[in-house]
Amino acid sequence: MNIQAEWMRGGTSKCWVFESEHLDETATSLDELLPKVFGSPDSRQIDGVGGATSTTSKAVILHRCDDSEVDVEFTFAQVGIEEATVDWGSNCGNCSAVVGLYAIEQGWVVPDSDITRVITRNTNTGQIIIQRVDTPGGALPIVPQAQMPGVATAGYKVGLGFRDPAGKTTGSLLPTSNPTDILIAADRAWTVSLIDAGAPVVVLRAEELGLDTADYDSWMAAVDSQLNVLDQVRREAAVRMGLATTPKQAARAIPKLAIAAAPQDDQSDASVMMLSMGRPHPALAITGSVALTLGAQTPGTVLGEITGGEPRATLRLRTPAGVIETWSEVREGSMYVGVDRTARSIATSTIHLPESLGSVAGTDLASASR
Amino acid sequence: MNIQAEWMRGGTSKCWVFESEHLDETATSLDELLPKVFGSPDSRQIDGVGGATSTTSKAVILHRCDDSEVDVEFTFAQVGIEEATVDWGSNCGNCSAVVGLYAIEQGWVVPDSDITRVITRNTNTGQIIIQRVDTPGGALPIVPQAQMPGVATAGYKVGLGFRDPAGKTTGSLLPTSNPTDILIAADRAWTVSLIDAGAPVVVLRAEELGLDTADYDSWMAAVDSQLNVLDQVRREAAVRMGLATTPKQAARAIPKLAIAAAPQDDQSDASVMMLSMGRPHPALAITGSVALTLGAQTPGTVLGEITGGEPRATLRLRTPAGVIETWSEVREGSMYVGVDRTARSIATSTIHLPESLGSVAGTDLASASR
């Protein structure tokens, strides 16, 4: 049995892109089908299309929509490696970036100007994401030329804008109603901003950690030595934001934590470092960058104090991987906040399933074909 | 620019299979082209088809032959990951297993009986390899069912037989002319057999290491604790085989070393454990299994003493991954020695190159397309 699929790089991930109609033809549940396609369970995924790492064992399932609100619905699947499982619980910002490009390459959306907007809905989260694909002169460039931090090679430029991202988890951009709060953690007081946009994020000033704001390269080592303290701050913040009843019960992934400082030069508007799962992130998760962007537009928050706290079209954030620019726009009464990625198709493929599936894979057939 | 390719599992490797004519169309040297296709240099190969490990960054280039001796010529390429390089210095036994299957799937060779033989020549080594592909009733099974140690899923059964493999490196199956030799290493004497077939291999009895021959599972830990001593034996053997002038100058990969013992039960003809690059190999490299097979057919060698030292059609060797069966056959005056693998196609693909290549990728074009 065969399945049509497009293997695409989205941001810093590799994603297998399927049209839902093609998967439907297998008459097999996706929880059973996708692990087989990816070669799971197997730590090496040696007999399937998976890449044996979390950033290369991802699928995106697209459904072309005829309704007036969105062009494409998409569902993200994190496919297990050592287990034959699929995690449908969250979206992936990197893989999201392939959707608009795919829609244009397939002719689902026709480019109409220098930037073509594709309206998408992620079904894992319900989030509407507008995708701004660079189409200079009304067409995709023959040779993609856009660069992004963390990827050495060029791709097509795709901006991902989250529609009205504030308060999706807690109901409010500022869950405590305060631009800053004071937390007690590790036997001292911390001034932080608690922001809910894209994802819940706690932001604190680099100065509180004793970081040298004039020497960004020195942050990594200094932060590494204070990870335990930072996790205590993060857990206190979880309680304040209503995400946990005690610090101990706080989830490992939520809220995220960001450290921020005034820019060290005129290449950026602020220096930031984000922690993900307890470790410094090499760049910025898209969800985290949305929170920082709205924080910077909110007077009195940690980032607002650094950048001015005014609405702005773009925000340049220094990260370990380089300066990342986020953008904001208001369209038809909604606020879109986003960041640019690059994406491109690596291969157009017909995947051959390793074995027959479901009821077809019976013992009788197996012995008959020997 | 696009390239047609087949992504195939061969044994325990994933291999990208190209027809040489398709690569010629790019008018780009393979040393430049293949790293770009695979996404190198990049430790994650995030923008190409490579899998970021040595067993998943492999290419096989096929050329259909019209001459009377062989059906297909193939060249193996180990594509660098962190460096934009290609190593053409050796063949890969696992990737070799895709060649016969590909030739049948493409109609280059028409199945004619229950086992279809495809004659191949590996250009890296000059080795003729006969591939015995199971085609029951004169056709590939609709659903492949063959299993092999180290791969959880089924594939098509492909036997790889090396033609006249003895002495390819040193000129003689027994480079010292002796079935056994005594080496001094680590302050004691070792009785070993020095065999050159497929690859140069030094074989010693498990008893010399104090291994419990009735308890194969105990070998791994016991061998792990004696790796340093075994490497000294291996280096002494290199000198005796004429592969190095001093033990210190011995290469890390050649000769290989194998430990052998009488079988612990009637499931196998001998228990063996092979070292590769200084570590116990989970199964057997094909080249190493060829040396063990001919050793077992040679009176007076370590394996010959265990198995009887007579010509035999099959030999069952216990390895950490399970029992591996090798086979031998004489056809038209040549000896073929081999082992079975499984292979299957994972995906039929059109690969999209990440950028324009060579002289086309000039600055002028880059700026023009923006």
Q: Enter the tokens of residue B250.
A: 């011995």
pLDDT over 70 for what percent of chain A? Answer: 96
Nearest CA-CA partner of B50 in B25, B13, B75: B13
pLDDT over 90 for what percent of chain B? Answer: 86
Task: Inspect the interface and report whether the beta carbons of A155 and B47 lie closer than 8 Å.
Answer: yes
Alpha carbon of B223: minimum distance to chain A alpha carbons (Å): 25
Task: Please write the tens of the pLDDT for every residue from B211-246.
Answer: 999 999 999 999 999 999 999 999 999 999 999 999
Q: Enter the tokens of residue B1.
A: 């620019």
C-alpha radius of gyration, chain B, whole number:
22
The reply to whether B53 touches chain A by the CB within 8 Å rule is yes
| Cβ-proximal residues to B365 (8 Å cutoff; 6+ apart), any chain | A143, B356
pLDDT band at B66 (very low <50, low <70, confident <90, very high): confident
pLDDT over 70 for what percent of chain B? Answer: 96
**A355 contacts on B by Cβ (under 8 Å):** 143, 153-154
**A42 contacts on B by Cβ (under 8 Å):** 152
pLDDT band at A27 (very low <50, low <70, confident <90, very high): very high
- Would you tell me how many other CB atoms lie within 10 Å of the CB of residue B248? 9
Q: What is the pLDDT of residue B358?
A: 47
Task: Please write the tens of the pLDDT for every residue from B279-297.
Answer: 898 888 888 999 999 999 9
Q: What is the pLDDT of residue B184?
A: 97
The reply to whether B222 touches chain A by the CB within 8 Å rule is no
Q: What is the pLDDT of residue A232?
A: 97
* CB-CB contact of A80 with A33 (8 Å): no
**Is the pLDDT score of B276 beyond 60?**
yes
**B56 contacts on A by Cβ (under 8 Å):** 44, 46, 51-52
Choose from A2, A8, A14, A37 for mutation: most chain B CBs within 10 A.
Answer: A14
Choose from A46, A341, A349 for mutation: most chain B CBs within 10 A.
Answer: A46
Task: Inspect the interface and report whether the beta carbons of A46 and B345 lie closer than 8 Å.
Answer: no
Q: What is the pLDDT of residue A357?
A: 56
Which DSSP string do the residues of A69-127 spell out, in sequence order?
S-SEEEEEEEE-SSSS-EE-SS--HHHHHHHHHHHHHTTSS---SSEEEEEEEETTT--
* CB-CB contact of A49 with A79 (8 Å): no
pLDDT band at B303 (very low <50, low <70, confident <90, very high): very high
Q: What is the mean pLDDT of residues A197-209?
A: 95
* CB-CB contact of B166 with B196 (8 Å): yes
CA–CA separation, A301 and A116 (whole Å): 34
Q: What is the mean pLDDT of residues B107-133?
A: 96
Alpha carbon of A58: minimum distance to chain B alpha carbons (Å): 13
Nearest CA in chain B to A49: B346
**B139 contacts on A by Cβ (under 8 Å):** none
CA–CA separation, A257 and A185 (whole Å): 14
Indicate the length of chain A as a whole number.
Answer: 370
CA–CA separation, A150 and B267 (whole Å): 52
The reply to whether B344 touches chain A by the CB within 8 Å rule is yes
Task: Inspect the interface and report whether the beta carbons of B141 and A369 lie closer than 8 Å.
Answer: yes
Q: What is the pLDDT of residue B302?
A: 98
CA–CA separation, B229 and B182 (whole Å): 15
The reply to whether A365 touches chain B by the CB within 8 Å rule is yes
**Is the pLDDT score of B148 beyond 60?**
yes
Alpha carbon of A233: minimum distance to chain B alpha carbons (Å): 33
pLDDT band at A356 (very low <50, low <70, confident <90, very high): low
The reply to whether A362 touches chain B by the CB within 8 Å rule is no
Tell the residue number behind the tokens 């990049």, with chain if given.
B42
CA–CA separation, B302 and B312 (whole Å): 16
CA–CA separation, A196 and A67 (whole Å): 30
Q: What is the pLDDT of residue A104?
A: 98
Task: Please write the tens of the pLDDT for every residue from A125-173.
Answer: 999 999 999 999 999 999 999 999 889 899 999 999 999 999 989 999 9
The neighbouring-strand residues paired with B162 are B129, B337
Helical segments of chain A, H only = 20-24, 30-38, 93-105, 219-224, 227-240, 286-296, 302-307, 363-368
Q: What is the pLDDT of residue A252?
A: 86
Nearest CA-CA partner of A255 in A226, A283, A285, A293: A285
CA–CA separation, B153 and B32 (whole Å): 34
Q: Nearest by CB to A47, which of B39, B48, B153?
A: B153
| The dihedral sign for the CA sequence A353, B2, B88, B51 | negative
Strands A314-319 and A270-276, sheet pairing: parallel
Alpha carbon of B115: minimum distance to chain A alpha carbons (Å): 13
CA–CA separation, A219 and A209 (whole Å): 10
**Is the pLDDT score of A358 beyond 60?**
no
Mean pLDDT score across all residues of chain B:
93
CA distances from B305 to B128, B216, B297 (A): 30, 19, 9
Q: What is the pLDDT of residue A282?
A: 84
Residue numbers of B between 31 and 50 with CB closer than 8 Å to A: 39, 41-42, 44, 46-49
Alpha carbon of B81: minimum distance to chain A alpha carbons (Å): 13
Task: Inspect the interface and report whether the beta carbons of A152 and B41 lie closer than 8 Å.
Answer: yes
Task: Please write the tens of the pLDDT for every residue from B336-368.
Answer: 999 999 999 999 999 999 875 543 333 333 333
Alpha carbon of A120: minimum distance to chain B alpha carbons (Å): 24
Which DSSP string do the residues of B206-246 spell out, in sequence order?
GGGGT--TT-GGGHHHHHHTTHHHHHHHHHHHHHHTTS-SS
CA–CA separation, A10 and A341 (whole Å): 7
Alpha carbon of A342: minimum distance to chain B alpha carbons (Å): 11
For residue B354, whether the previous peptide bond is cis, meaning omega lies within 30 degrees of 0, is: no
The reply to whether A9 touches chain B by the CB within 8 Å rule is yes
A and B: number of Cβ contacts within 8 A: 130
Q: Nearest by CB to A47, which of B9, B49, B352?
A: B9
CA distances from B245 to A67, B171, B249, B252, B257 (A): 77, 17, 7, 14, 18
Torsion of CA B189, B193, B195, B200, to 10 degrees: -30
Domains of chain B, earliest start first: 2-163+342-352 (3.10.310.10), 181-326 (3.10.310.10)
